[in-house]
Structure 1
Amino acid sequence: MKSCKLSFATIFAVQNNLAELIVNEGIEIDEIKVDELHDALLNSFETPISLLINKRHSFSYTFQAQIKITQLKELKAIAIVIGTNGALMSTQTLMSVNKNVFDDIELFQEREEALTWLGESN
């Protein structure tokens, strides 16, 4: 699987229009990191893009990054794989911040379920 290393994460190409993001442990994602992510997605994937955020590690977002992350118009759907209660709570906050802007986002406990849902939304 092809990958792209960012300053704060790694993006894996699951398909030509499906990216999996694994953020490094302890990172705080800010607007600059969101811009880096958006640039990498646009330069490496066919649009519209589906994104699997694998919360394998603990990380956080600034408020501005929470708003900005779903504002990429080429982004079609986001599936988030969570493994802990802390990840669930932070992800629910992210979803509530963006509920009026981006609604094609779902939470999953298993990666395969998330990939299936993203495949159906393509």
Structure 2
Amino acid sequence: MKFQMSFGVINLLNDHIAEVIIDEGTHMSLEMCEEYDELLLNIFDRPFGLLINKLNNYSYTFEAKLHIASLSHLKAMAVIHYNSEAEQKTNDLLALRETDKWNLKTFCGLQMGREKAIAWLDKAVAKHHQDSNQLANSLDSDLDS
């Protein structure tokens, strides 16, 4: 399923991963991030991962950099880059948001990165589902005692 947004497209890859492709030259604002969040909240009601496919060159306002990737159900992000500039922008954003301790891994799109990124996201999100199920079972057994 594909969702056209004001800033690009979000592809729903499965029930726990969405791919984000931002349009060339976009300057992501806080309002665009809120549009993005609203859609993700409507799609996912449990842990999910994002595949950020940096096919295009784009930037963020400072406010957007501080807001992006703040949803509680977002458990893993994979970023596919195609050049050193895109990789450096990701590293700069990671440094700015270091205290958030994002579960983020980067992949080179020129080396089968998309397939590797999706496989990594599947495992990362599955771990959160497994941990949630174990916690729920533990709470159920505590209540039965």
Q: Does the pair score TM above 0.5?
A: yes
* Contact 1:16–1:46, Cα closer than 8 Å, also in 2: no
Aligned to 1:49: 48
Give, in angstroms, the shift of residue 25 of structure 1. 0.5
Q: Specify the code of the residue in structure 1 equivalent to 2:117.
A: A
Higher helix share: 2
Of the candidates 90, 111, 116, which is equivalent to residue 114 of structure 2? 111
Structure 1 distance, partners of 2:45, 2:17, is: 8
The equivalent residue for 1:21 is 20
Query: Which residue of the partner structure matches residue 67 of structure 1?
Result: 66
Asked which structure has the greater CA Rg, the reply is 2
Question: Which residue pairs with 2:99 in the alignment?
Answer: 100
Dislocated runs of 4+, deviation >3 Å: none
Separation of aligned partners in 1, 2:106 and 2:10: 19
Unpaired runs of at least 5, structure 1: none
With normalisation by structure 1, the TM-score equals: 0.94
Aligned 8 A contact 2:27 2:60 in 1: yes
CA distance in 2, matches of 1:20, 1:120: 16
* Aligned alpha-carbon RMSD (Å): 1.0
TM-score calculated relative to the size of structure 2: 0.80
Identity %: 32
Deviations 1:72-106 (A, max 9, x none): 11211111000011101111111111121132011
The gaps in structure 2 that reach 5 residues or longer are: 126-145
Contact in 2 for aligned 1:18/1:50 (Cα 8 Å): yes
Aligned to 1:9: 8
Are the equivalent residues in 1 in contact too, given 2:79–2:107 (CA < 8 A)? yes
Distance in 2 of aligned mates of 1:41 and 1:19: 8
* SS of 2:116 mapped into structure 1: helix
Paired residues in the alignment total: 121
Take 1:83 and 1:22, find their aligned partners in 2: how far apart are those partners?
13
8 Å contact from structure 1 (residues 70, 98) kept in 2? no
CA shift in 2, pair 1:102/1:69, >3 Å: farther
Matched letter for residue 114 of structure 1: A
